[in-house]
A and B are shown apart, each in its own frame.
Chain A
Amino acid sequence: MQDGYITEDGRKIGGVVMEMKNITLRFGGVVAIKDISFDIREGEIRAIIGPNGAGKSSMLNVISGFYVPQEGEVWFHGKPRPQMRPYEVAQQGIARTFQNIALFEGMSVLDNVMTGRLSYMKSGLFSQALWKGKAEAEEVANREVAEKIIDFLEIQHIRKTPVARLPYGLKKRVELARALAAEPKLLLLDEPMAGMNVEEKEDMSRFILDVNDEFGTTIALIEHDMGVVMDLSDRVVVMDYGKKIGDGTPDEVRNNQAVIDAYLGVSSD
């Protein structure tokens, strides 16, 4: 299983990057995720789908370390990940976007993107206070990376605009830019196309494919638009009421009886 596979369109998928093993997450008496296991392979686009309240976002929150599951382990790069704070997870190369845009509204687009580079900026308080030596060099070096991402996502013209003034679609793009600026090994996208019109969805799909293609970034995404999911993703996990009811290529999932039942509303017992 460690060797990966070749996709239909000829992309080479590598070994397992991240593996969720028997994750169970409870809030008080409510079970949000029940005994779920799946893996994410290097270079693939992995989708998590399911009806509302299925526990998809909670799953992403577990991956990014924001929720700590009561049972189960998260394996990253072949090792169980010790319990760590969300910012430490981010420093390990996991970046994400949020379902309800979580940009820093008081800052410009550029500054937002630069926050994605924080893990790379290590100069001390003293150096920064004087804006000399390491701090200045580091600022310029990271600015170059941020500008590349800004170019890539075609948001140069709003570089200095405060985020609060941007329309919804652009905010979503800026959020993606911030995540990409971290040059993540694993990129988590929580409903990247929610609330977009067809044209914006096409743009976003193209960006996601380009990111995967050009940077070789592994992507895990949650999405409601089935057409998009089936087109974009290499493998799909289906969740319902906190349980995993399907896992496989888009075609396999499409023909899975449990998945059909869940989406058509047939009672699952």
Chain B
Amino acid sequence: MFYREAGDFKTSYEQDSQTFPIKFDRFRYYAVLAIAFLVVPFVINDYWANAILLPFLIYAIAAIGLNILVGYAGQVSLGTGGFMAVGAYACYKFMTMMPEVSMFVHVLLAGGMTAIVCVVFGLPSLRIKGFYLAVATLAAQFFLVWLFNRVPWFYNYSASGQISAPERDVFGIMITGPNAPAWATYMFSLIFLTLCALVARNLTRGTIGRSWMAIRDMDIAAEIIGVNPLKAKLTAFAVSGFFIGISGALFFSVYLGAVEVGEAFGITKSFLVLFMVIIGGLGSIFGSFAGAAFLVLLPVVLKVVGVDVLGWPTDIVAHFQLVIVGALIIVFLIVEPHGLAQLWRVAKEKLRLWPFPH
């Protein structure tokens, strides 16, 4: 009774293929957007921005990117950390080379650069499949981190080997650097996330999305019925790389401010984003949000419960976190391979019939 889809008739194919075909969903979506854009910026403070909202927004972009590659196109990648590093370092180089250009442009360019790198490392996908490919993407991970660590040009020969974001603005509002206000960094990331999610949704419901899923579900048959595997796979790598690059650029410039590549973009980052996609739901944009929110909140909640309430040492809580995340991954793969997104769908079906059991 709370959730209805009956009586919502479509009279054209345009209406039928829209993003939220059900009226109720559409209203909820506008409500969420309104709160995110019109309410949150006025109540946000530094703690919320830095502990929860910024990492959530930025990881959600990365998760959408990886989900396109893994969940839609079926090409498992363990190189996400390395690709985020490309975004971060490209952004840094653009920021220092062209200080007068808007930060907006820098982030987009960083995404484009990452897309190119991602396509290069995606080329082997034309020959190798499955976990051979997954392992092959580790080559990207290790090589890229090494590259940014060892070639001083990338970090402008700074003595520490780190990169740190200079102060840059958009229309006169400071976005990066220690003096950027919380609401500005939040809005900046939110705009990117919204754009990325819309683009991802448009791509996945149309032609290119279908060819990705066809390749994922049965690559040989897909090619025989007319999907060009080269095009499908490489566009998946490119689009995915674009999003992941944006996420890496924001992670460095807006969120952390200063980055040491091995620490920020190591292989654990690759796994973290992969876990977000698995827990959230493979092949679901909403799932990418859910997974990112879940894995951003989990450590915060554990820390509050474990350290602040129970008074345990932080290292034990950190170990518990590993156990919980590992167990969750296994549980989700066994019980619900479509992740939180599927649980959400099931909940909606239940709500639709409530209070009647069937």
Contact = CB atoms under 8 A, between A and B. Distances in A.
A and B directly contacting (CB within 8 A): yes
Interface of A: 64-66, 85-87, 89-91, 95-96, 98, 102-107, 111, 114-116, 118-119, 121, 123, 125, 128-131, 135-136, 138-140, 143-144, 147, 178-179, 182
Given A135-B206, A143-B13, A104 B226 contact: no
A107 B224 contact: no
B207 A136 contact: no
B350 interface: no
Interface string B315-351: 0000000000000000000000000000000000000
B224 A86 contact: yes
Interface in B223-261: 223-229, 235, 239
B109 interface: no
- What secondary structure prevails in chain A residues at the interface with B? helix
B213 interface: yes
A91 B226 contact: yes
A98 B222 CA distance: 12
B225 A139 contact: no
A16 to B, nearest CB: 23
19 contacts: A85-B223, A87-B227, A89-B224, A95-B225, A96-B224, A104-B213, A104-B214, A104-B222, A115-B210, A116-B226, A119-B226, A123-B207, A125-B235, A129-B202, A129-B203, A130-B199, A131-B205, A140-B12, A182-B226
Given A102-B218, A115-B210, A128-B206, 10 more contacts: A85-B223, A98-B221, A102-B224, A103-B218, A106-B213, A115-B214, A128-B202, A128-B207, A136-B14, A139-B13
Instruction: Give 7 closest A-B pairs by Cβ, nearest first.
Output: A90-B226, A102-B221, A104-B217, A131-B202, A121-B207, A143-B13, A129-B199
| Highest count of chain B CB atoms <10 Å: which of A106, A136, A144 | A106
Interface of B: 12-14, 17, 199, 202-203, 205-208, 210-211, 213-214, 216-218, 220-229, 235, 239, 283
Most buried by A among B199, B206, B216, B226: B226
A106 B221 CA distance: 14
A64 B221 CA distance: 11
Contacts, number: 109
Contacts of A105: 217-218
Nearest to B239: A125
Contacts of A66: 220, 223-224
A118 B211 contact: yes
A115 B223 CA distance: 11
Contact of A118 (B202, B227, B283): B227
Contacts of B14: 136, 140
B208 A128 contact: yes
Nearest to A123: B207
A220 B220 CA distance: 21
Contacts of A123: 207
Q: Which of B199, B203, B214, B227 has the most CB of A within 10 A?
A: B214
Contacts of B203: 125, 128-129
A115 B225 contact: yes
B199 A179 contact: no
Contacts of B222: 104, 115
Given A129-B202, A139-B206, A107 B228 contact: no
Contacts of B207: 118, 121, 123, 128, 135, 138-139
Nearest to A121: B207
Contacts of B235: 125
Given A102-B218, A135-B206, A90 B224 contact: yes
A183 to B, nearest CB: 12
A96 B208 contact: no
B227 A143 contact: no
Nearest to A92: B226
